[in-house]
Each structure stands twice: as structure tokens, then as C-alpha cells.
């Protein structure tokens, strides 16, 4: 089992930046892909960004160029740097981990994910 705990959410104004962090514990050696998903009001959960153990990153088209995913293996921590935030980025952001390799250049669907964090709220509003 793997436990994921997110931090760093909050309320910001449009154009501002925010960094999310996700600390993993437990059987972290079993995970080969980590990602950030979000659920916007009235919508289903969508993949925002993902990264494999080699550091290859994928992004949803709506965040490409604004968001950066990274991880610190020594700290078992996944990050999401979000800049130029827009009101439509308002959502609950979830950290996710998968135990199967993902080879495509898009973020996998949520059905690929084995472990989820509890979520952290990000609100972008003026």
C-alpha cells in the first residue's frame, strides 16, 4: 500500500502562482508513475500532469507551459508548480500513483491509477 498526502493548496488571484506537494509513504518502490489530477466543479476528474520514474513528463493541453511537474526521489515527494493561474484552474487537486508503466505522451486516465491522495483545494478568484 502507498499513502499520498497533498499540501499547498489555497486561494490566489488570477495570474498568481502556487506550488502543490505530495508526500508518499509505504511501498513507494512499487510505483512507477505519478500524476496530478483535478476535479473542477461540475466535472469529472481529469489528468493534469504526470511523470514516470525516468523523469518523462506529460501535460494536459490546458496547462502546458504554465504548470510543471517534478519529483524529489530522496524525499518521496511530488510537486506541481502552477503559474499564470486562471479561474478555470479552480478545482480539487489530487495526487495519484500507478504501479503499471505508462508509455503514452498523454496523462493516463484515472482508471490507470492505483493510489489517490485525499485532495487539496485550489481556488483562483479575483
Degrees (nearest 5) of the Cα angle 46, 108, 95?
Answer: 60
Measure the CA–CA gap between 32 and 102, rounded to whole angstroms. 8
Has residue 4 got a pLDDT over 90? yes
Average pLDDT, the chain: 95
Measure the CA–CA gap between 31 and 60, rounded to whole angstroms. 21
Has residue 9 got a pLDDT over 90? yes
Residues 13-33 have a mean pLDDT of 95
Amino acid at each position: 500500500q502507498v499513502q499520498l498526502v497533498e499540501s499547498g493548496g489555497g486561494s490566489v488571484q488570477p495570474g498568481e502562482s502556487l506550488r502543490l506537494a505530495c508526500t508518499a509513504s509505504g511501498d513507494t518502490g512499487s510505483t512507477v508513475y505519478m500524476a496530478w489530477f483535478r476535479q473542477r466543479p461540475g466535472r469529472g476528474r481529469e489528468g493534469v500532469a504526470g511523470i514516470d520514474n525516468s523523469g518523462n513528463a506529460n501535460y494536459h493541453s490546458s496547462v502546458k507551459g504554465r504548470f510543471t511537474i517534478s519529483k524529489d526521489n530522496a524525499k518521496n515527494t511530488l510537486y506541481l508548480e502552477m503559474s499564470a493561474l486562471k479561474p478555470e484552474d479552480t478545482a480539487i487537486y489530487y495526487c495519484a500513483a500507478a504501479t503499471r508503466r505508462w508509455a503514452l505522451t498523454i496523462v493516463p486516465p484515472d482508471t490507470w491509477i492505483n493510489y489517490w491522495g485525499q485532495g487539496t483545494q485550489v481556488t483562483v478568484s479575483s
